[in-house]
A and B are shown apart, each in its own frame.
Chain A
Amino acid sequence: MRKNKAMIFWFCMPALLSLVLMFVYPVCRTVLMSFFRVESVTATMADWSFFGFGNYSKIFGSTSFMISMKNMLLIWIVGGVFTLALAMLMAVTVTSGIRGKKFFRAAIYMPNIISAVALATMWIQYIFNYDYGMLNTIVQFLGGDKIKWLGTDLKFWAMTGSFIFGSVGYYMLIYISGIEGIPQDLYEAATIDGAGKVHQFTHITLPLLKGVLKTSVTFWSINTTTFFLWTKMFSPIDTESSTIVPVIYLYDMVFGGKGITQRDAGAGAAVGVVLTLIIIAVYLVTERLFKGNDLEY
């Protein structure tokens, strides 16, 4: 085929331009900005003054940032264990030969395609509502006292719980596609050899899903480090220490929020860099952990 240089150039140009404008330049500038004292996000580079690691020591010395990191870590670990385990349970169940497989798969994935704002509203205004909510109706039916699900003590877990519900379907789909790639005769052979369902799961399914598990852990890490919307829904007006996460801290720092007397875009940039480094670190660690003897089948 003839190579048409002009065509190649003009066909690639817009995509290259968006890549540079939307990603390459901003990422470089954010990294650079994190080493400068920058007050307003709109300040031109001429107004920046070099600050070394000053922004980093500022955020790591800030109580709200450390609380937000602790919350994020909790969501990552506790939310991650529940989400991925539930997703695996659903994936194994859906592919176990039950009837209505397509229906169940579609219904469990459904929360992922609707507006997360709408989904969070359903949870906050119905499931967790103190007066008429689903959970308190069940609690009262069982003879218990109404619980303040959205009070300071439980709010974080209420938020994490509803976030888990919204996430399971996506990871289930990833696992299903992995499970369906495993040849059926492996299971048939195992059944003939007398291996039970649980045994088959731990000895065939899990080892062969290594690659898919790796992907899911990386995606989960990206999802939790960029966690923002659910906090904004559960604490819409004022940032609260029970639900604060790093991106909320960044948002308040850069664009203003309650309790922020002086905006600090440099510190915001430092938060962004820290979160990105965490994602890269998790990616490298999982890559390492799940590496080695990739099973062939």
Chain B
Amino acid sequence: MNKINWKKEARLLPGYLIVGIWVLFTAVMLFWILGASLSTSREIFSGQIFKFESGFHFENYATAWKAQNVSVFFANSLLYSVISCVGVLAISAPAAYVLSRWEFTGGKALRIGLVIAMSVPVIMVIMPIYSLSVQWGIKGRVLLVILYIMLRVPYTTIYLLDFFSTLSRTYEEAAYLDGCSGPKTFLKIMLPLVQPAIITVTIFNFMSVWNEFFMALIFTSSESMAPVGVGLLNIINSMKYTGQYGGMFAAVIIVFLPTFLLYIFMSEKIIAGVTGGGVKG
């Protein structure tokens, strides 16, 4: 630890104030929501939430989880996120590897197509996909998972491609001399080598699918297949009738927690990933 240079710190005081106020605001907001999720509606409205005079109302969480169906939304989101993360890797990793290693007809076009696809707004694709899905009779959970996988393919492929191209070709040459086939080399040698990139890209895919809202709103026809975002919106819309403020704030905390916890443990990796791929002047 360096000795504190008070003169330097005093000069930085305005800076501390700027970021300090911003972070304090965020913290107050989160703590208040946490407090409210453990209080009754009456306490919330009378501004008494941090006194907990009637105790901690953990039953709010039980209400949210069971009566307000958050357990269903949570399970759906988990299902969508996990399957999509695995599926997108199965499609993107082989393509990224091949694209990074060989020049072939259409390879460059595929690469450019993937880069452009990353910035295509969803509104440009949603209508034809809707009509195709009706035409082909694909719907519900299966449809959402397929869409999430395909939606994440461009980003994942380009991200992994950059990593594969940094690997030396000597690995493959050695494997080839030992009689290892191309696909086997990819699975046993190359894939483990890009493991850090796979972890990063999977975190991003997970968070993106977990937080996805637009397609979920359009393609979930019933509450039983709604992910957390759409589910939370339904809870809020029905609040007028239930008046369960504590339960609603508990639902907010439950929805907020998974990606937040992931972030607490992996913030360095996530932050490095945000600016690592693609964002270069």
Q: Let me know if A42 is at the binding interface, CB within 8 A.
A: yes
- CB pair B45–A22 under 8 Å, yes or no, is no
Question: Does B217 interact with chain A (Cβ within 8 Å)?
Answer: yes
In the assembled complex, which residues on chain A have CB atoms less than 8 Å from the CB atom of B279?
174, 177, 215
Give the interface of A toward B (CB within 8 A): 1-5, 7-8, 10-12, 14-16, 18-19, 21-27, 29-30, 33, 41-44, 89-90, 93-94, 96-99, 102, 104-111, 113-119, 121-122, 125-127, 131-132, 134, 137, 170, 173-174, 176-178, 209-212, 214-215, 222, 225-226, 228-229, 232-233, 236-237, 247, 250-251, 254-255, 265, 268-269, 271-273, 275-276, 279
Contact with A along B261-278 (1 / 0, CB 8 A): 011000110110011000
> Is B128 an interface residue, CB under 8 A from the partner?
yes
Report whether A41 and B121 are in contact in the complex, using a CB–CB cutoff of 8 Å: no
- Also in contact, A27 and B15, with CB within 8 A (given A7-B183, A211-B280): no
Given pairs A115-B255, A236-B236, A276-B121, 16 additional interface contacts (CB within 8 A): A1-B172, A3-B104, A11-B183, A12-B94, A15-B95, A23-B116, A26-B124, A26-B132, A30-B124, A96-B12, A104-B19, A115-B210, A173-B275, A215-B279, A222-B121, A233-B233
Secondary structure of the A contact surface, majority rule: helix
Give the nearest-CB partner of A96 in chain B: B15
Q: Is the CB of B131 within 8 A of A43?
A: yes
Contact of A226 among B122, B147, B183, B259 (CB under 8 A): B122
Check A118/B255 contact, CB under 8 A, given A42-B131, A226-B121, A272-B124: yes
Classify chain B's interface size.
35 or more
A34 to B102, CA, bound (A): 39
Q: Which residues of B contact A (CB under 8 A)?
A: 8-9, 12, 15-16, 18-19, 22-23, 26-30, 32-33, 36, 44-47, 90-92, 94-95, 97-99, 101-102, 104, 106-107, 110, 113-114, 116-117, 119-132, 134-135, 147, 149-151, 153-154, 157, 169, 172-173, 176, 182-183, 186, 207, 210-211, 213-214, 217-218, 228-230, 232-233, 236-237, 245, 248-249, 252, 255-256, 259-260, 262-263, 267-268, 270-271, 274-275, 279-281
State the 7 A-B residue pairs at the shortest beta-carbon distance, nearest first: A211-B281, A15-B95, A26-B125, A11-B94, A177-B275, A22-B150, A26-B128
Tell me whether A11 and B104 are in contact in the complex, defined as CB-CB below 8 angstroms, given that A41-B127, A41-B130, A132-B45 are known contacts: no
Residues of B within 8 A of A269 (CB): 127
A18 touches B150 (CB 8 A): yes
- Counted as pairs of residues, one from A and one from B, with CB atoms less than 8 Å apart, the total is 263
Contact, CB under 8 Å: B102 / A254: no
The chain A residue with its CB closest to the CB of B149 is A18
**A23 to B245 alpha-carbon distance, docked (Å):** 41
Residues of B within 8 A of A126 (CB): 29, 32-33, 36
Q: Which residues of B contact A251 (CB under 8 A)?
A: 218
Least Cβ distance of A10 to chain B in Å?
8
Q: Which residue of B is nearest A21, CB measured?
A: B150
18 contacts between A and B (CB under 8 A): A2-B182, A12-B94, A18-B91, A18-B149, A21-B150, A22-B129, A27-B124, A30-B127, A44-B135, A96-B12, A99-B9, A105-B271, A114-B263, A117-B230, A118-B232, A122-B30, A126-B33, A222-B121
**Contact of A268 with B232 in the complex, beta carbons under 8 Å:** no
A43 to chain B, nearest CB (A): 7
Contact status A8-B33, CB under 8 Å: no
List the A residue with the shortest CB-CB distance to B118: A23
Are A22 and B182 in contact, CB atoms less than 8 angstroms apart? Answer: no
Contact B169 A114 (CB under 8 A): no
Residues of A within 8 A of B207 (CB): 113
Bound: A252/B252 CA distance, A: 27
Contact yes or no, A272 B127, CB < 8 A:
yes
- Assembled-state Cα–Cα distance A175/B134 (Å): 44
